Amino acid sequence: MTISRRPLLLGLAATGLMGAAPNPNAGRMVVTLLGTASPQPNPNRFGPCTLVQANGLNLVFDAGRGCTIRLDQVGVPLGKVDATFLTHFHSDHLNGLPDLWMTGYIQTPFGDRKAPMRLFGPTGTVRIANAMRETFKDDIAIRIADEHVPEAGTRIDAREFPEAGGVVFNERGVKVTAFAVPHGELIHPAVGYRVDFDGRSVALSGDTRYSPNLITHAKGVDLLIHEVFVMPAAAANDPTAVVVAQHHTTPEQAGQVFAQVKPRLAVYSHIVQLRRPKMKAPTIADVLSLTRKTYKGPLAAGEDLTRYTLTAKGVTGERLSNTVRPG
Ligand SMILES: [Zn+2]
Ligand SMILES: [Zn+2]
């Protein structure tokens, strides 16, 4: 019975009478904050890392400290990351990258990558990929000989592009566009990204000062993930603090960005709360109230393991549990 029906079904499909099956992923994007911190070690906030899931793809933006732990917590084996995108080469955005790459080629349920890791970033990305393979060639050789890990899984397929950016990835209807951001005169390249899929969109600022180019590229996105910097007022004479401040966006400036981009939701990540001895550290509440001086729209301070679901109806957020995933 089953066998006899198969040719009939195929025939109907071929003539178009059955129509295409609806894509269950259509019009939907899921964005999870995996790390929302700056270089400052923090047990509650890991290094910069954001997971964007659209049409079955797992795309990771920056690979800061602890990104492998967070990916495992949200149920994405490291070998199932389809592509990783770098914004720039400050250590806090990169220091989880060797872990993501090397733990990914271990053939266990949390790794299991059998093909080269796909890595995208501005000019310099290929050099970094080559240097990682050189630095860690002992682990590669040992695991291939001892554990028989597939050699292809230890490779890195690195693609780099000029700082001016453009469309850098376009697969399964998911388009990733890079654009230059002004992080600092001596900090090049530095880019942000926009991801589009079937009417949904998210923009990620990377590290940047107030950026008119970001406003242009992010205009009207569903979700804007933006960095922010605050320091104690008394630190204004601290030369180091002043240098760092020049590389980032204040809450008031970020509010100006949000007011022009008009996202359905603006979310802070890479929240730099500069601490100095004997000075009261700025709080998240401070960041939000300063932002409100210039922006009245939808706003949230991101936290690790917050998942935003983007649909035609809007953006909803939920906090995932910060525990070890069973199994
Ligand atoms: Zn940073
Ligand atoms: Zn940076």
At residue 269, the pLDDT reads 98
What average pLDDT does range 294-311 have in this prediction? 98
What's the 39 CA to ligand 1 centre distance in angstroms? 7
Q: What percent of the chain has pLDDT over 90?
A: 84
Instruction: Give the DSSP letter string of 252-264.
Output: HHHHHHHHHH--S
What's the 92 CA to ligand 1 centre distance in angstroms? 5
SS3 sequence, 199-233?
A: CEEEEECCCCCCCHHHHHHHCCCCEEEEEEEECCH
What's the 128 CA to ligand 1 centre distance in angstroms? 17
What's the 152 CA to ligand 2 centre distance in angstroms? 31
Domains annotated for the chain, with CATH where assigned, are 28-319 (3.60.15.10)
Going by their DSSP bridges, the two strands 299-301 and 117-122 should be labelled as unpaired
What's the 73 CA to ligand 1 centre distance in angstroms? 23
Residue 282, pLDDT > 70, answer: yes
Separation between Cα atoms, residue 27 and residue 37, nearest integer Å? 30
Question: What predicted TM-score, i.e. pTM, was given to this entire model?
Answer: 0.93
At residue 15, the pLDDT reads 43
**165-211 confidence digits (pLDDT tens):** 999 999 999 999 999 999 999 999 999 999 999 999 999 999 999 99
Q: Which helix (H) or strand (E) holds 282?
A: none
**4-21 confidence digits (pLDDT tens):** 344 434 434 444 456 778
Q: Which two tokens stand for residue 55?
A: 């049409």
What's the 270 CA to ligand 1 centre distance in angstroms? 7
Place of tokens 């490779």: 155
What's the 15 CA to ligand 1 centre distance in angstroms? 54
Going by their DSSP bridges, the two strands 83-85 and 117-122 should be labelled as parallel
Ligand at minimal distance from the CA of 38 is: 1
136: nearest Cα among 109, 157, 114, 105: 105
Mean per-residue pLDDT over the chain, rounded: 93
